[in-house]
Amino acid sequence: MKICITSSDLNLNSPVDSRFGRAQYFLILDEKGNLEETISNPGVLASGGAGIAAAQKIIDQGVKILITGNIGPNALGVLETTNIQIFLCPFNIKVKEAFLMWKNDKLTLMKKPSVPGHFGHGSPGGRRGFNRRGRR
C-alpha cells in the first residue's frame, strides 16, 4: 500500500507541508514507513489548478492514503472520485511522525475541505488572510 505525505523537503525528517496543492514534494512511503519515492509536485508553480494537478499526480502513483496539512475543495473533489483516504496532520510535525500518528490512528480522516479554494496560491501563507497554519 502506498502512502503519500506532503513535505517541504525530500526526507522523512522534513516538516509536513501544510498545503496539498502547492506542497513542494510528495513523499511516497510503504506500509512500514519506508521511503519508496520522492516526487516533485507539478502543481507547486501552477498559475491555477494546482490542487487538481497534485491530485492527479498522486492518483497516477497508485496512492491509497494521503496525509497533508490542508486540502482545498478542488483537490478534494478530484480525490473523492477515488478510494484514496485523506488524513489531516497537525502543524509542525515531521513526515516520519505523521506516518506514526496515522499508523496509531491519531489523525483525522477528511470528509470536507479544510481550507477555501486558492488557499496556497502565491506566497506560502496563502491568500484571503490565512497564514500557513490555516488561521486568520
- State residue 42's pLDDT score: 86
Q: Which cell numbers hold the place of 43? A: 502543481
Q: Is the pLDDT of residue 124 over 50?
A: no
- State residue 43's pLDDT score: 85
In the three-class reduction of DSSP (H, G, I as helix; E, B as strand; rest coil), residue 108 is classed as strand
- What is the value of pTM for the model shown? 0.82
Residues 52 and 78 sit within 8 Å (Cβ to Cβ)? yes
Q: Is the pLDDT of residue 15 over 80?
A: yes
- State residue 45's pLDDT score: 85
Reported confidence tier of residue 110, pLDDT bands at 50, 70, 90: confident
Q: Is the pLDDT of residue 117 over 80?
A: no
Reported confidence tier of residue 132, pLDDT bands at 50, 70, 90: very low
Reported confidence tier of residue 112, pLDDT bands at 50, 70, 90: low
Indicate the helix (H) or strand (E) that contains 99: helix 95-103
Reported confidence tier of residue 126, pLDDT bands at 50, 70, 90: very low
Whole-number Å distance between alpha carbons of 53 and 50: 5
Q: Is the pLDDT of residue 101 over 60?
A: yes
